[in-house]
Amino acid sequence: MTISVVIITYKRIQELKETIDSLLEEKDAFDELILVDNCSMDGTKEYGIFLEQQEEKVKFYSLDSNLGVAGGRNYAIEKATGDILVFLDDDAVFENQGCFSKIRQVFSENEKLGALAFRIINFYTGEMRSEEIPFTNKHLNLDEERLTSSYIGAGHAILKTVFEKCGDYPKDYFYGVEELDLSFRIIDTGYEILYYPTVRVLHKQVKTARVTNREKWIMAYRNRMLTSYRYLGIPYRLVIGTLLFGKIMILSRSISAPWKGLMRYQRDKKQTAPRRVGKEAIRYMKANYGRLWL
């Protein structure tokens, strides 16, 4: 099985160089590296052009506007030719070499496997942050491989055929919740998602602003509610909407952020076609600590 490594970048040229350097140390282990620049204007374009000229496996694309996380990934997915797409954030590195052969092996051994959720570790502390654990139960043994209902964007792998069958990321999700949205479709299509702690990713969580802090919370509410509207019934949407409103109000220290998110959700759901997931998908998510309620 062939592997395409995918990196979407925006205004993180120093961290990007470190990520690329670490990948090129084992460039014989993958087939191509797709690098998409979301219109950074910080020297990333010049670096990408130079990199493509020097490294045969690198394919660099410079976008004329910032398409966000979902849009940038969709662009890369279209360009990638590998059977397996390995996604890595531009401020993350694999802890050890040899990951690509393990990724290739686990996919080849399980025909139901659609995606791998890597173990995401804080680069500086060596610990896992709560929000980067792909289970609602944060007290599981995270050293053990097990099925999960979602994955973390900083490091994961998805079969190319999954996108062909399930569709791409929602193009209007500029930032946030795009992984959860696709996870619903992956599971409902009959694929499994495996938490695979054998592959460990060190994530720096660089605070380069993709959007303002207030806008981040607005998008979080709007996108989560649209995902719930699309795939889940009314009881789930009512509970999620209420709990998330309170959570974002506390975290943002403002009532205006969740209120603005609610208004955008009410506006945009009119252009959103529901496609409720089946009972088997719901059972799968419940059994594997999926994010059904929040």
Question: pLDDT of the chain along its 294 residues, tens only?
Answer: 999 999 999 999 999 999 999 999 999 999 999 999 999 989 999 999 999 999 999 999 999 999 999 999 999 999 999 999 999 999 999 999 999 999 999 999 999 999 999 999 999 999 999 999 999 999 999 999 999 999 999 999 999 999 999 999 999 999 999 999 999 999 999 999 999 999 999 999 887 656 788 999 999 999 999 999 999 999 999 999 999 999 999 999 999 999 999 999 999 999 998 999 999 999 999 999 999 987
Q: For residue 207, what pLDDT is reported?
A: 73
Count of all residues that appear for the chain in the document: 294
User: Do 112 and 246 have their domain in common?
Assistant: no
Cβ–Cβ contacts within 10 Å for residue 292, how many? 18
Query: For residue 256, what are the domain limits?
Result: 213-276
Looking only at the bridges linking them, the beta strands covering 32-37 and 58-62 are: parallel
194 and 147 Cβ atoms separated by less than 8 Å = yes
Domain count, the chain: 2
Residue 79 falls inside a structural domain: yes
Q: For residue 205, what pLDDT is reported?
A: 86
Tokens 């929000």 appear where?
A: 131
User: Do 263 and 123 have their domain in common?
Assistant: no
User: Do 101 and 178 have their domain in common?
Assistant: yes
User: Do 26 and 165 have their domain in common?
Assistant: yes
Residues 6+ apart with CB under 8 A from 250: none
Residue 286 falls inside a structural domain: no
User: Do 224 and 253 have their domain in common?
Assistant: yes
User: Do 151 and 69 have their domain in common?
Assistant: yes
Three-state DSSP string of the chain:
CCEEEEEEECCCHHHHHHHHHHHHCCHHHCCEEEEEECCCCCCHHHHHHHHHHHCCCEEEEECCCCCHHHHHHHHHHHHCCCCEEEEECCCEEECCCCHHHHHHHHHHCCCCEEEEEEEEEECCCCCCCHHHCCCCCCCCCCCCCEEECCCCCCEEEEEHHHHHHHCCCCCCCCCCCHHHHHHHHHHHCCCEEEEEEEEEEEECCCCCCCCCHHHHHHHHHHHHHHHHHHHCCHHHHHHHHHHHHHHHHHHHCCCHHHHHHHHHHHHHHHHCCCCCCCHHHHHHHHHCCCCCCC
User: Do 120 and 238 have their domain in common?
Assistant: no
Q: For residue 212, what pLDDT is reported?
A: 84
Looking only at the bridges linking them, the beta strands covering 192-203 and 113-122 are: parallel
Residue 281 falls inside a structural domain: no
Residue 294 falls inside a structural domain: no
User: Do 114 and 228 have their domain in common?
Assistant: no
Closest CA to 258 of 196, 215, 209: 215
User: Do 184 and 39 have their domain in common?
Assistant: yes
